[in-house]
Structure 1
Amino acid sequence: MEKLNQVLLRDDVRVGADLEAWLAIGGGEGLAKALCDPGAVIGEIEQADLRGMGGAGFATHRKWAPVAAAADGDKTIICNGNEDEPGTFKDRFLLEHTPHQVIEGALIAAAATRANHIVLYVNPHQQQAIAVIRQAVGQWQAHPRYAELERLLGAPLSLGVVPSSGLYIGGEETAVIASVEGGFPFPRRKPPFPSQQGVHGAPSIVNNVETLAHIPGILRHGAQWYRDLGIGNATGTKLYSLSGDVLRPGLYELPMGTSLESLVFEHGGGMLQGKEFKAVFTGGPSNTLLTKRDLDVALDFDSVRLRRSRLGTGAMIVVSEGTSIVRKVAEFVSFFAQGSCGQCPPCKGGSFQLMRLLNRIDTGRGVHADLAALENLCRILPGSGRCGLIDGAVTVVESSLHQFREEYEALLMA
């Protein structure tokens, strides 16, 4: 694995639930700075241009600022480790191997926003991650800096692990809040946003595991250090979950802005023997496809968006020539159809109809009317749900039709 510019995955930070080992390599210094000057933290995060690593790429400081400005009282920081999308496996690695980095990031967020609750929301299927993070929580609660943070807040600080529902939809931020409150993870429409009305109506922040893991380094070394880690206009590093038809699938931390070609052919070792690169599903299956002509794209939020795609979580699912795009899309849309919570009829029914049409076409039973119906659903379904599930399903279908329409047409009955 490439060691240049690594921040989250360096060998020496993989200390597991050993707080003393984390502190021995400089861990805790970011929190110490935040405790000395909590009012400066959000400005430092803004200067670093840290964005949300859970998929949307939303500026982190813009989530934090409204909560910091809210009147003192109950406020909650949620570390979102639900991670249940195919092809994405970065957060569970961080929780298992460097949990103190993640927890310190959450403690810094609490200091900056005067939040008195921290919830580590973890997929229950990741039992090892839950065991490690619970052990790490106990060590922080016994550390003097934890008491120092409570004195800053002027109130007891609750820090605990809450297993998620284990459902894909349970990772959407309003569904996370509903689950933390003890209910079923039904998403709700926004506004109000969590920063206005979150857990039990109080201001709340939902940040991805990877996002929070970056915070201690930024506070310790400064915003400019973090900016300089990226390539071009991109800042920091990114975890890329590389899978599919490559020789060395795995988790790679690389400078934000690393090219797709470098990720696949240099770090990933290139394609499996006898295979040729065809395409990659970017950011997991809820996003879009990039093809051979996009191998030069810089893997950062803005550059990928210019190619009509999205970086998302950083998951890269590589497919080779000879692999049916229609079949892959049918598999992914089936995942979404099964993951719909059923709260919104257009999402539940629409995802099922997308799945049904795709399966008909994939198995050679489709006709031109089925393709027309598929395209019509892509026009009318977006925005019909309370969350982005149906939009994600439509996005991958639309992108595959744009890039590989001939494959669909070749499967239709005369």
Structure 2
Amino acid sequence: MEILNTNLLHPRQRVGEHMQRWQEAGGGEALRIAVRNPASVLASIKDADLRGLGGSGFPVWRKWEAVANETADPDKYLVCNGNEDEPGTFKDRLLLEETPHQIIEGALLAALACGISRIVFYINPDLTRSLAALKAALAQWQDGELLKLASDALGKTIRMELVPGSSHYIGGEETAAMEWIEGRLSGGEKFPFPRGKPPYPAQCGIYGCPTLINNIETLAHIPAIVRNGADWFRKQGIGRGAGTKLYSLSGDVLHPGVYELPMGTTLRDLIFVHGGGLLSGKPLKAVFTGGPSNTLLTPDDLDVNLDFESLRERGGSLGTGAMIVVSDGTGMVKRVAEYARFFAHSSCGQCPSCKTGTATISRLLDRIDTGRGTTADLATLETLCRMLPGSGRCHLVNGVVHLLDSSFLHFRHEYQQALK
């Protein structure tokens, strides 16, 4: 796995490395700065223009401010969301394995900024190395000086807990995560059904308390911003991008892996400079951006900047930063059918439109891919793309539609060829 080191993965750690080594390399400095003026942390995050890196790209400071302004409840919660499970996305597991102390420090900085006393690390249970590294790191923080400093600055004891997730893809959705965590904290277990919104987690989250939910990569950026300043962070990016981004590069490339690069790096540089180009020197056909639940990019998009605004202008999304590269010669109908099958299997079944819609899409795509499809099947898929968006409690069904719509836009001729 290739890693380009800038600031997220520095200082690097290995599983079981002692906290002292991390501190000697500068770890904990941001927390010592923040305890003197906790309110300054939120201001720094706002000035830095840090976005949510779990897929939404939502400005982090807005979530933080909403939770910070809630004062009625005695407890507030922070959920550190590490339920990474989408095909092609493997950045958070690397952070958890390599630098768990940095993530813990980022979580404590968020807690200080928002008045949070309960921190829950919610991790995909299949990431066994990540769980082991984080568990060992948390044990080193308990009863330590830095945790006491943070608790004293907050004025109440900060409790940190590790909760393995449910092994369900849908469990990464923020309200589904809260549902699962509530069951585990009370000694039971609930299926991670997404909840309707509003109310939003900032107002009514875990046990009805204000709850902040941030992705692991998002939290990993916080210490560097507090330590070096918002201007420093913004200058790390290219164009309209701020900071750095972990791009998960996979598929038909010579050097797949995780690359930490300036936010706004072009697709061309990611694939051909850092990824070494395509296997066997084949031409590029397409790229699934942000995992398969987003839109496709084509060779015409090679010079697009991989940041939230630039991709949004092209009708796409950066998502998690996963880039699944497809070379010429790969059938797109088959690939789309495979991903649609994954999402149909992952639907929790709570919303009829999602349960039946994703299953129908998957079934029709399989028919077309195997030469049994009809023009009526293709027409039905197009109708579902118009009907289904926004019909579920979460965004799973929207992701399937984005994938399908984008494949129609760029590769409709392959669907028509499959029908023949």
TM-score category (smaller protein): over 0.9
Residues 190-209 of structure 1: CA deviation (Å, up to 9, x unaligned): 11111111110000011000
**In 2, distance between residues paired with 1:228 and 1:120?**
30
Name which of 230, 236, 259 aligns with 1:252.
259
Shift of 1:13: 2.3
Which residue of the partner structure matches residue 186 of structure 2?
Answer: none
Residues 28-53 of structure 1: CA deviation (Å, up to 9, x unaligned): 01111111100111110000000000
> Please, what is the CA RMSD of the aligned residues?
1.1
What TM-score comes out, normalization by structure 1 length? 0.98
1:40 aligns to 2:48 (yes or no): no
Residues 281-312 of structure 1: CA deviation (Å, up to 9, x unaligned): 00001001000000000000000111111100
Matches of residues 361-380 of structure 1 in structure 2 within 5 Å? 361-380=368-387
Which residue of the partner structure matches residue 194 of structure 1?
Answer: 201
From the superposition, tell whether residues 3 and 363 of structure 1 become closer, same or farther in structure 2 (CA, over 3 Å). Answer: closer
Residues 254-285 of structure 1: CA deviation (Å, up to 9, x unaligned): 00000000000000000001411000000001
The one-letter amino acid of 2:85's match is D
Residues 210-255 of structure 1: CA deviation (Å, up to 9, x unaligned): 0000000000000001001001121000000000000000000000
User: Per the alignment, in what secondary structure is the counterpart of residue 121 of structure 1?
Assistant: strand
**More displaced stretch, 147-156 vs 47-56:** 147-156
Q: Percent of pairs identical after alignment? A: 57
The one-letter amino acid of 1:409's match is Q
User: Per the alignment, in what secondary structure is the counterpart of residue 333 of structure 1?
Assistant: helix
The one-letter amino acid of 2:258's match is L
Q: Give yes or no for contact 1:79–1:207 (8 Å, CA) kept in 2.
A: yes
Shift of 1:138: 1.1
What TM-score comes out, normalization by structure 2 length? 0.96
Which residue of the partner structure matches residue 78 of structure 2?
Answer: 77
Which residue of the partner structure matches residue 67 of structure 1?
Answer: 67
Shift of 1:66: 1.4
Which residue of the partner structure matches residue 89 of structure 2?
Answer: 88
- Structure 2, gaps ≥5 residues long: 184-189
Q: Give yes or no for contact 1:15–1:22 (8 Å, CA) kept in 2.
A: no
User: Per the alignment, in what secondary structure is the counterpart of residue 280 of structure 2?
Assistant: coil
- Structure 1, gaps ≥5 residues long: none
1:217 aligns to 2:224 (yes or no): yes
Which residue of the partner structure matches residue 339 of structure 1?
Answer: 346
**In 2, distance between residues paired with 1:16 and 1:195?**
33
User: Per the alignment, in what secondary structure is the counterpart of residue 311 of structure 1?
Assistant: coil
Shift of 1:3: 4.3
Which residue of the partner structure matches residue 282 of structure 1?
Answer: 289
Which residue of the partner structure matches residue 405 of structure 1?
Answer: 412
Q: Give yes or no for contact 1:13–1:25 (8 Å, CA) kept in 2.
A: no
Q: Give yes or no for contact 1:289–1:399 (8 Å, CA) kept in 2.
A: yes
User: Per the alignment, in what secondary structure is the counterpart of residue 121 of structure 2?
Assistant: strand
**In 2, distance between residues paired with 1:25 and 1:412?**
60
User: Per the alignment, in what secondary structure is the counterpart of residue 14 of structure 1?
Assistant: coil
Residues 126-163 of structure 1: CA deviation (Å, up to 9, x unaligned): 11111110110111123112112222222221101100
The one-letter amino acid of 2:174's match is E
Which residue of the partner structure matches residue 107 of structure 2?
Answer: 106
Q: Give yes or no for contact 2:337–2:366 (8 Å, CA) kept in 1.
A: yes
From the superposition, tell whether residues 350 and 219 of structure 1 become closer, same or farther in structure 2 (CA, over 3 Å). Answer: same
Q: Give yes or no for contact 2:126–2:167 (8 Å, CA) kept in 1.
A: yes
Which residue of the partner structure matches residue 137 of structure 1?
Answer: 138
Q: Give yes or no for contact 2:91–2:258 (8 Å, CA) kept in 1.
A: yes
**In 1, distance between residues paired with 2:229 and 2:406?**
39
Q: Give yes or no for contact 2:50–2:60 (8 Å, CA) kept in 1.
A: yes
**In 2, distance between residues paired with 1:152 and 1:180?**
27
**More displaced stretch, 134-143 vs 399-408:** 134-143
Which residue of the partner structure matches residue 28 of structure 2?
Answer: 28
**In 1, distance between residues paired with 2:4 and 2:358?**
41
Which residue of the partner structure matches residue 361 of structure 2?
Answer: 354
User: Per the alignment, in what secondary structure is the counterpart of residue 52 of structure 2?
Assistant: coil
**In 1, distance between residues paired with 2:231 and 2:13?**
25
Which residue of the partner structure matches residue 152 of structure 1?
Answer: 153
The one-letter amino acid of 2:278's match is M
The one-letter amino acid of 1:330's match is A
User: Per the alignment, in what secondary structure is the counterpart of residue 13 of structure 1?
Assistant: coil
User: Per the alignment, in what secondary structure is the counterpart of residue 318 of structure 1?
Assistant: strand
User: Per the alignment, in what secondary structure is the counterpart of residue 382 of structure 1?
Assistant: coil
Q: Give yes or no for contact 1:83–1:91 (8 Å, CA) kept in 2.
A: yes
**In 2, distance between residues paired with 1:116 and 1:187?**
24
1:308 aligns to 2:307 (yes or no): no
Which residue of the partner structure matches residue 335 of structure 2?
Answer: 328
**In 2, distance between residues paired with 1:244 and 1:321?**
12
Q: Give yes or no for contact 2:14–2:97 (8 Å, CA) kept in 1.
A: no
User: Per the alignment, in what secondary structure is the counterpart of residue 36 of structure 1?
Assistant: coil
User: Per the alignment, in what secondary structure is the counterpart of residue 35 of structure 2?
Assistant: helix
Residues 358-399 of structure 1: CA deviation (Å, up to 9, x unaligned): 001111111111100000010101111100000001110000
Name which of 165, 184, 194 aligns with 2:191.
184
Shift of 1:14: 2.6
Q: Give yes or no for contact 1:14–1:98 (8 Å, CA) kept in 2.
A: yes
The one-letter amino acid of 2:59's match is A
Q: Give yes or no for contact 2:3–2:258 (8 Å, CA) kept in 1.
A: no
User: Per the alignment, in what secondary structure is the counterpart of residue 273 of structure 1?
Assistant: helix
The one-letter amino acid of 1:133's match is L
Shift of 1:165: 0.3
Q: Give yes or no for contact 2:240–2:309 (8 Å, CA) kept in 1.
A: no
**In 2, distance between residues paired with 1:36 and 1:154?**
13
Q: Give yes or no for contact 1:134–1:160 (8 Å, CA) kept in 2.
A: no
Which residue of the partner structure matches residue 13 of structure 1?
Answer: 12
Q: Give yes or no for contact 2:15–2:132 (8 Å, CA) kept in 1.
A: no
The one-letter amino acid of 1:405's match is R
